[in-house]
Structure 1
Amino acid sequence: MADSPKLLFIDSYDSFSQNIVALLSDSIQADIEIIQNDDERFITEHGSIRHDHFRIFLQSFDAIVAGPGPGNPTKSADVGLITALWDLPHQSLLPVLGICLGFQSLGFHFGANVRRLTHPRHGIIQNVAHTKEDIFKGVENVQATQYHSLHVDLGCTNSTWIPLETCPSLLPLAWILDDAENGAILMALKHMKKPFWGVQYHPESICTNPEGGKIISNWWWEAKAWNESNRRRRIDSPMSFSPLEQPAPDIPDDLGEGSLLLPLSIPVNGKPSTFHISSSAYSKSLDQCGWTVQTACQALEASDRELIVLESSNTKVLTGKYSIIGLILDDTIRIHYFAASHMLQIRDGQDHTIFECVVDDAWAYFREFMKNIQVSIVDAGAVPFSGGLMGFISYEAGLDTIGITPSSSPDGQPPSDIAFAFVTRSVVFDHTQKRIVVQSIGAEDEDWVRKTSALLSSMDSDTASPSFMTPAPTVSVQYSPDPKEYCDKVKSCQEEIRAGNSYELCLTDRQILEFDGSCSNDNLPWTLYKQGAFHNPAPFSAYIRLGPLDRGFNILSFSPEKFLSWNREGTCEMRPIKGTLKKTTSDGRRLTCADAEDFFQSPKERAENLMIVDLIRHDLHGALGAGNVEVTKLMGVEEYETVYQLVSVIEGKFKQRTMMAEAVSSSPTDTRPLLAIPSRRLREESLQPRTQRAASGVDVLACSLPPGSMTGAPKKRSCELLQSIEGNQPRGIYSGVLGYMDVGGGGAFSVVIRSAYRWDGDAARWHIGAGGAVTTLSGPEDEYAEMVAKREAALLMFKAIKR
């Protein structure tokens, strides 16, 4: 047998699978191939398994891991190919380790029953008693994370360490014995004659202790010994089982087979003009001198036109050190994507479509776009944004990345699911250094940088002090969730969890407000934003206005949650928030940070956060591979203006793509094409394993959508369930992300929560979303109260400020 084992991992669409693959890679240095349990190469169109083909395919592996997933092992659609493993003839046998769903399938196939637990165990950590033999040899005290609603029932009321008459071929290896609610729960077993093992708990979870993870290397030793004693060696398959080919993207005929780039000529003021960007950023730094983001916007006369502002206005946390003002010009390019039709559009400064095509993978376009417009950043200590794409990605665009068809959009939902503007002029506030950086990557734009710096240096910041609307306009509620209906949805979520279809579901709903006609709509969004920032300062506030007045949109967000950031050196970070406590109780008592620490010790709060941490680790491992993901902060309490929140931090490292040589030229300007069109050659490259292609920030972004803190786990099945429970109502911008991708190689996005958005085609209606994570430990009325509390934080922007 070769020194490096080759394993097959059968994935049942779980959101922790990549963590198991990383553990296998780290523990036994294995080469691992991943297939889905419904791989079309081995299942007919009628759903039956092609056993002969599958067995030939298995010959090329040393062992198999049948992974976890949603569903019930008694349903063939939920386990798929896993069921074929247990009936392999002797000459085709090879070692198998079943984890969670795979474990339950093993037990069920050999005579055990699979039943619901009285109280499901999701994100719960318990001690595991074991035999200290076989895969537990040399293993001490195991503290293991559980994610299961179902359990394997051998037919006994208490734990046993010997086979039972009901399941004579199954030998118990581990139990949980101290669960007062469920009684003894089987945690591991092995087949008496065949090389099959299984564990119910999740050895890969961040909260399973190292002893619990030792079973992986122990299993491999047992598997290797079985292979050697049975003289089994893997052999190359005589049949071709290469991954299913994907169709090449449609490429306009005039581009040609090998074309990669589409050059754009942008009309400005009715005249054609080739778009130029500089090969390096022009910038000038000056003292902040009392300027705020809002007063600077008004001094630059930017607040009454298209504008993107990413503002950090919470000094209690250090996650948002910078604020960015992205200025939208007459020649600013915009990129729009429509998830339902897969249509990608490039629009000019007047919002006219100048190119469009149906794409198979929108993220391949964004990856190549950012690769081909990188700009040399001379100052190593420069601010993280020099120019690039700024905008949003809707929740429905995130569904598109995981193969879920988005719900159809009724009136009032976004006309596009992704919208970015290519920003060349920006003003960045460095709040820690108390400085402002005025910068441009536009060709020959040094004069604007000098003039704008002079303006901000000479003008009195007090002359641009913000003004607020007094009194407040009349607002009517067009829609608000009914308390009983929302509680019923919580119960529906809990039933799906108890059935084993999800571990956690992030339920949401929306409120729709409409203004009367007495207020001017021209300045209303900016005024509302200022009011929201005053009432609810947040580290990831955002104001976006894009598009002409009759077909544009506004987004106002006061998010406490960073979704993803990556720097120019190749380190990315995600900061999921799961767990919220209002700082003021119903009787008016102010809670301290110590009170919050005590509150967040509850199993429910910690389980919610843990599930999302493990899900995000899975997302990052999928993009970056084993050994490149680390949890640097696990369930820490952070203080915000109106709430305390439970926050974790997960970091990853990737090798940034080498900057294109032509991006750093001796010429001060480049005529740079702005849209990368993947050719068939590029498409073939994108299908290669990630280990053969250096990951980029765009890869990590695409792999992580939609935000796990807004879905639940496993992500795909949970999103499908939520679509149905939420009445197929699109979430739109809410639950999506917004931020930037920098020409220097970095990027940052926040989760769109505590937000309101409006589309010009939807009259004067504003949409406010809110929700929370539902587990079996949730109280429906408590979940409704939490949703209302989060919604109230967004509604603060609609209250008038009396000065």
Structure 2
Amino acid sequence: MSPDAPRILLVDSYDSFTHNLAALCRRSIPNCQIRIIKNDELSIEELRPCLKDFEAIIVGPGPGSPDNASDIGVVRDLWHLDDDHLLPIFGVCLGLQSLGIEFGTTLGRLSTVKHGLVSQIHHPGTDIFEGVGEVNAVRYHSLHITVPPTGDIQQLAWAEDAENGRVVMAVKHTSKPFWAVQYHPESVCTQGGGWEVLRNFWTLGSQWSQTRRHTRSTIADTPSIGIPWPHTASPHSFSRPTLASTNKVLSTKVNLPQLSVTKISEYFGAADEASNCVLLDSAANPGRYSIIGSLPGDAMQVTHYVGDAFLTIIRGKDKTIESLDALDIWQWLSNYMRTRQVEHHNSSVPFWGGFVGFFSYEIGYPALHIPLQRKEKKHPDANLTFVERSVVVDNQTGDVHIQSLIPGDDTWIAQVAEDLTNLSQSRAPNARRSSVLSLSPLSSVVLPEKQRYISRIKQAKEHLYSGDSYELCLTAQTRISIPYNQSRGTPGTSTSWERYQQLRKSNPAPYSAYIRLHPSTLMSSSPERFLSFSRPPNPMCQLRPIKGTVRKGPGITRAVAEQLLAGSPKEVAENLMIVDLIRHDLHGVLGENVKTAKFCGVEEYETVWQLVSVIEGRQEKGTSKHDDFDLGWNVLKSSLPPGSMTGAPKKRSVEILQNLEDGERGVYSGVFGYWCVSGGGDWSVTIRSCFKLDQQNSQKASGVSRPEHEEWVIGAGGAITALSDPEAEWDEMILKLQSVLKSFGITPPMSA
């Protein structure tokens, strides 16, 4: 970046669209250098002397209200800078409201909230709208300002709402270099009034600076405050192992189209409850490959709990506590993977070996700087096993790839190939029961209480009306308690494995999984891929959020599904909010090179139609190839918890949901998947899932008496927006529960 490049200070009010706005700045103000600070990072006394390093300030959007000091921070003081420190300022959403109330406008609530909705913006084509044609812009606000006929604030644009009447959409200060818009110019669905308006602001601001003979300080080559965006260097400040270049993958391929994934899994011990087991199962289209780990008793397992300064390495009965020192769990895993990296093998096989497992919903709290309100440790927040021996099944061709990372492991590969070939030719019936495992009279099922859930929906909507959030993904848990003496099927077998087979049969899904990594067992029929990233060099990161589902049934054709989903303002708004949030997450790591490859497309799955968007990004040019290996890993870390399971803005939404829900989500709403030794990875959202804690083994090991029941937990919920109907949201939550409850032989009544 040239030292003469324009320098812009972007003030972030803890929003989930900030990096989108930074990308828009780069498009509007070519070659500009952007530094980002939080609105409560510095006091005005600390900030004021640093402003000499900048030509302009962008005040971004954010949750809350401009009259709340904790929501607005130092922004309030920026509007009252003295002449010696005054700079052109452009505000967005909360920024406009703050500018308005500091100079005589009144703040009020909209009669009808506008979150993720597109409005036509009317303007006279002057000032920051000069040369700007028709504007159809996305709005994310429940508050608005009313501008008096005379005063310091002048209206520049407005929307005509059928419900709210005329609503101010853009203003300027009559004597100071301040401009602002209420709508979101950085949204993917804003057409017109985006980069053009920001470009005009820069032109007008530059003209003002020239008339005032305001020039930036040339003393410092780089500003003394803020985080640079985009990041052009590795985010790691610690020493890392050199990427390994001598590791190899041994493999062979056999074509066994008659051999099922479940039979291969049982060959590797899926039915043995005492052993660990990992199956990432493409049980339905559009999934293609299934991955089965061969886990010997001493296979390495890594567990970690948020807040701990250590992790646990488990090899069979041996446990080792390892301090993280200055690292976090992500950096530790990255360091380990660099020692196992493989550069070349069969590029058509997605997984060669590596880490497989899950991350909890709460694993994302540290990155959001949210304290964890944990009363007791249950499921690890990170629970992964390193898979050295694996089988990858191509469900389209029937090819079975048998692989090992262990040098000289040809004998094992040959033996497995022979055994699986014989297994595919065997006509012996499957010994596993195929009927639904019914619950005993001593079992219990505790569903969410309807009125309590609806009450929380109403509380969530009040947060939306007050401006604290645009969308809240409210969830609740169902608990199934089964006596231990009734929880086993055939002696020595795992009922959880049998239940998983029933789940994949009743609700086949492209991102299914059976992961048994003690003390946790997870079975999932997830339809939603969260993040996939290709192998270096120049890996592609792709996220595929789902918001909007219609179950297949008589008369539900594609045309009908498209009308119900893509034709619904509510469904599109839910999806749009998460798309904009994900774009922000990707921009934060990758820089400018992010695009929305598909917006609100209707995709067909085995049992449902889904409203799916696709967001893609690659590394910003200027970053060394050395960082490609863990690029996707850094995106994963920076994107959790999944935005489709939190709402937006993410940080404030997660904080609200902590108080609306009864406890930790744990495994539910996190992600599961793999990170391959090649640098590629694939992670899915943990929904349509259930999980249990193996309290029996853990308590036996600690000397505590064995509990009498095992408990399964199922999470379900939905995105609450201002357009949500509480009864309909309850019905949607119960509908999502049904697909998993069927594996327990339970059909919950809709009026439960």
TM-score by shorter chain over 0.5: yes
| Pair 1:312 & 2:282 matched | yes
Q: Residues 97 and 145 of structure 2 are in contact (CA less than 8 Å); yes or no, is this contact kept in structure 1?
A: yes
The match for 1:788 among 734, 742, 747 is: 734
Superposed, 1:383-422 pairs within 5 Å as 383-410=349-376, 413-414=378-379, 416-422=380-386
Q: Residues 142 and 464 of structure 2 are in contact (CA less than 8 Å); yes or no, is this contact kept in structure 1?
A: yes
**Counterpart secondary structure, 1:280:** coil
Question: How far apart, CA to CA, are the structure 1 residues paired with 2:521 and 2:375?
Answer: 17
Q: Residues 290 and 461 of structure 1 are in contact (CA less than 8 Å); yes or no, is this contact kept in structure 2?
A: no
Q: 1:515 to 1:695 in 2, by over 3 A?
A: closer
Q: 1:751 to 1:347 in 2, by over 3 A?
A: same
Q: Residues 509 and 771 of structure 1 are in contact (CA less than 8 Å); yes or no, is this contact kept in structure 2?
A: yes
Question: How far apart, CA to CA, are the structure 2 residues paired with 1:447 and 1:243?
Answer: 57
Q: Which residue of 2 aligns with 1:709?
A: 644
Question: How far apart, CA to CA, are the structure 1 residues paired with 2:16 and 2:646?
Answer: 11
Question: How far apart, CA to CA, are the structure 2 residues paired with 1:470 and 1:391?
Answer: 28
Q: Which residue of 1 aligns with 2:502?
A: 531
The match for 1:438 among 386, 402, 411 is: 402
Q: CA deviation at 1:479?
A: 2.5
Q: Which runs of 5+ in 2 are unaligned?
A: 228-236, 697-708, 748-752
**Counterpart secondary structure, 2:571:** helix
Superposed, 1:644-663 pairs within 5 Å as 644-654=609-619
Q: Which residue of 2 aligns with 1:33?
A: 35
Question: Per-residue CA shift, 1:377-404, capped at 9, x if unaligned?
Answer: 233x331110000010000112232111
Q: Which residue of 1 aligns with 2:201?
A: 219
| Pair 1:513 & 2:513 matched | no
Query: Residue type of the partner of 2:12?
Result: D
Q: CA deviation at 1:277?
A: 12
Across the aligned residues of Structure 1 and Structure 2, the Cα RMSD in angstroms comes to 2.5
Q: 1:799 to 1:658 in 2, by over 3 A?
A: farther
Q: Residues 502 and 714 of structure 1 are in contact (CA less than 8 Å); yes or no, is this contact kept in structure 2?
A: yes
Q: CA deviation at 1:474?
A: 1.6
Q: CA deviation at 1:715?
A: 0.1
Q: CA deviation at 1:713?
A: 0.2
Q: 1:452 to 1:694 in 2, by over 3 A?
A: closer
Q: 1:562 to 1:471 in 2, by over 3 A?
A: closer
Q: Which residue of 2 aligns with 1:23?
A: 24
Q: Which residue of 2 aligns with 1:158?
A: none
Q: 1:506 to 1:258 in 2, by over 3 A?
A: closer
| Pair 1:232 & 2:243 matched | no
| Pair 1:754 & 2:736 matched | no
Q: Which residue of 1 aligns with 2:89?
A: 96
Q: Which residue of 1 aligns with 2:667?
A: 733
Q: Residues 535 and 629 of structure 2 are in contact (CA less than 8 Å); yes or no, is this contact kept in structure 1?
A: no
Question: How far apart, CA to CA, are the structure 2 residues paired with 1:194 and 1:449?
Answer: 74
Question: Per-residue CA shift, 1:411-464, capped at 9, x if unaligned?
Answer: 8x41x1101101100000112333110001112212111111122223315436
Question: How far apart, CA to CA, are the structure 2 residues paired with 1:369 and 1:401?
Answer: 21
| Pair 1:152 & 2:152 matched | no
Q: CA deviation at 1:260?
A: 5.6
Q: Which residue of 2 aligns with 1:200?
A: 182
Q: Residues 278 and 444 of structure 1 are in contact (CA less than 8 Å); yes or no, is this contact kept in structure 2?
A: no
Superposed, 1:201-600 pairs within 5 Å as 201-236=183-218, 241=224, 279-304=247-272, 305-315=275-285, 318=286, 320-357=287-324, 361-379=328-346, 381-410=347-376, 413-414=378-379, 416-459=380-423, 460=425, 462-463=427-428, 465=430, 467-468=432-433, 470=435, 472-474=437-439, 476-516=443-483, 517-520=485-488, 522-547=493-518, 552-569=519-536, 570-584=539-553, 589-600=554-565
Q: Residues 340 and 405 of structure 1 are in contact (CA less than 8 Å); yes or no, is this contact kept in structure 2?
A: no
Question: Per-residue CA shift, 1:203-249, capped at 9, x if unaligned?
Answer: 110100144431111111111111112111111578994569xxxxx
Question: How far apart, CA to CA, are the structure 1 residues paired with 2:51 and 2:335?
Answer: 37
Query: Residue type of the partner of 2:510?
Result: P
Query: How does the TM-score come out when normalised to structure 2?
Result: 0.90
Q: CA deviation at 1:518?
A: 2.5
Q: Which residue of 1 aligns with 2:115?
A: 122
Q: Which residue of 2 aligns with 1:698?
A: 633
**Counterpart secondary structure, 2:22:** helix
Q: Which residue of 2 aligns with 1:743?
A: 677
Which runs of structure 1 show a deviation greater than 6 angstroms over 4 or more consecutive aligned residues?
A: 237-240, 655-660, 692-695
- State percent identity of aligned pairs: 41
Farther-moved stretch of structure 1 (489-498 vs 235-244) = 235-244
Question: Per-residue CA shift, 1:237-276, capped at 9, x if unaligned?
Answer: 78994569xxxxxxxxxxxx998669xxxxxxxxxxxxx9
Question: How far apart, CA to CA, are the structure 1 residues paired with 2:264 and 2:3?
Answer: 65
Question: How far apart, CA to CA, are the structure 1 residues paired with 2:364 and 2:152?
Answer: 45
Question: Per-residue CA shift, 1:284-343, capped at 9, x if unaligned?
Answer: 11113311110112234443231100000113xx2x221100121122111111103343
Q: 1:526 to 1:67 in 2, by over 3 A?
A: same
Q: Residues 241 and 338 of structure 2 are in contact (CA less than 8 Å); yes or no, is this contact kept in structure 1?
A: no
Question: Per-residue CA shift, 1:74-104, capped at 9, x if unaligned?
Answer: 1111111111111111121110000011111
Question: Per-residue CA shift, 1:53-91, capped at 9, x if unaligned?
Answer: 321111100100000000000111111111111111112
Q: 1:461 to 1:195 in 2, by over 3 A?
A: farther
Q: How many equivalent pairs are there?
A: 709
Query: Residue type of the partner of 2:122?
Result: A
**Counterpart secondary structure, 2:248:** strand
Question: Per-residue CA shift, 1:478-533, capped at 9, x if unaligned?
Answer: 42211111000000000000000000000000000012333417411110110001
The match for 2:63 among 58, 70, 77 is: 70
Question: How far apart, CA to CA, are the structure 1 residues paired with 2:411 and 2:38?
Answer: 57
Q: Residues 444 and 482 of structure 2 are in contact (CA less than 8 Å); yes or no, is this contact kept in structure 1?
A: no
